[in-house]
Structure 1
């Protein structure tokens, strides 16, 4: 047993510099490996964080599981430290592993010690940035048709600024009413994360845009660059009664913020059938696989 203490605690804005630095060392594609996403979802996911040497550690306090460590150094050592923490606090060691290559690393490092369960509902969808911007090809014909319907009316798109960010909060109120947030706990959690993203938008270095039709807000999107070649979309809300609003905000956000990236990460579908169909319809080029690794 390695004698050390991990000090897991709530994430704070002041943690951003050191967490960003360690995340860059791993350069993972997963949406859980960016400070902004960790920060806005911390309460919903009961997330706690710690630093061990040059590794950034995440722990779900309610579900009692860790995330695969990000950073650099002795991977065996940091995993053993996490195991010791679980043993000291009397719960089974479980790690959520993103990326097939990280699963392989864990298997090679500690052969036969883990049972792996694929978690398809939590795979991130990774798209070609160019494809989302141009929507070329037969497979995306329906998206172009929806956009053509949308642009039949006067429309505009603008980046989120200090002057217009209040419009996003106003739209959240509309979206909640439209989607019956009051009777859906998951939607309430989602909206809490969206409001937190807007509250700390500039401190988190987020990027976003607002879509209007005939002068009225019909959609907005918020995200950030999550690694060296990928833009991640964290929040996307649109008026479902406006044909083409979702495809349009998808395209415009990609055009505005992902033109210098190879990929766009649009996160997981959580096993929701309609959401899975929608995400698959944009033809992802790959997934960020997710596995639950349980110590045997």
Structure 2
């Protein structure tokens, strides 16, 4: 019987454990990645249990704990035990971010279970080659903006390393001042998450890319392999001094990733209308659909 006492915090020391589990059970959604959990721990307080060769994740935000479906060999008894525990200790949405394949299995195990689509956390997956080359009429406007950036801005590209780490952090402080992080709780938490990733670059499975404008850092991205054919972009930040820089860092990151990956996951829009419009403008190949367990109020 699954208990709350079975869960312990996710820490940097757990990297090898998660890499071994995810090598057997590849993930499709960014939230489950080790990098995401440790970077956002200050906000979401991730925990995990390891029961009968399954990893079960939980996060606690604003005092509400929500769980993820088991990651491991299909175990109906464990699933039922998790649903029972989650229903007892959470709110009326106790299991979240359930991928489509797992949702289908849950409906077989628990007929009548109420799983609802969570559109705000669907993730956008693009063809890497398309983001790198911006082909055809679909990308005409974006291609024009990237070309204009390359023409008007004296830019260079380099990897993010320990050598430029402190400069990257100074760039992030500038970015936060421009975006008004201190007056926006979401941006303030994101700032902490990006800083954690940069500070622990050597301890995480991430790589970074830097664009310099006239020798000063103007944009960065941080990314990692998600599974065998998909890369995941965790963070992308830019300053407004050079028009088109966000389009440029997107394209340059894709160009770096395209030789090794068919797809690039660029995470969800969190229900933000402007962000949804911007992500759709890049013509996703498909979406990673996720579902939540909804209990009767």
Does residue 1:49 correspond to 2:9, yes or no? no
Distance 1:203 1:3 in 2: 31
* Alpha-carbon distance, 1:163 to partner: 0.6
State the partner residue of 2:253: 253
Which residues of structure 1 form unaligned runs of 5+? none
Distance 1:33 1:196 in 2: 17
State the partner residue of 1:70: 71
Indicate the structure with greater helix content: 2
Distance 1:282 1:186 in 2: 24
CA deviation digits over 1:72-101, x for unaligned, max 9? x23312212323433664866721133222
Q: 1:170 to 1:110 in 2, by over 3 A?
A: same
Q: 1:14 to 1:91 in 2, by over 3 A?
A: same
1:230–1:258 contact (8 Å) kept in structure 2: no
State the partner residue of 1:225: 225
State the partner residue of 1:9: 8
Does residue 1:97 correspond to 2:97, yes or no? yes
Which residues of structure 2 form unaligned runs of 5+? none
Match of 1:43, SS state, is: helix
Distance 1:3 1:172 in 2: 42
Match of 2:15, SS state, is: helix
| TM superposition outliers: structure 1 runs of 4+ over 6 Å | none
Does residue 1:172 correspond to 2:180, yes or no? no
Distance 1:172 1:93 in 2: 35
Q: 1:295 to 1:187 in 2, by over 3 A?
A: same
2:96–2:292 contact (8 Å) kept in structure 1: yes
TM-score of the two chains, using structure 2 as the length reference: 0.92
TM-score of the two chains, using structure 1 as the length reference: 0.93
RMSD between superposed Cα atoms in Å: 1.9
Q: 1:154 to 1:19 in 2, by over 3 A?
A: same
State the partner residue of 1:186: 186
* Alpha-carbon distance, 1:259 to partner: 2.3
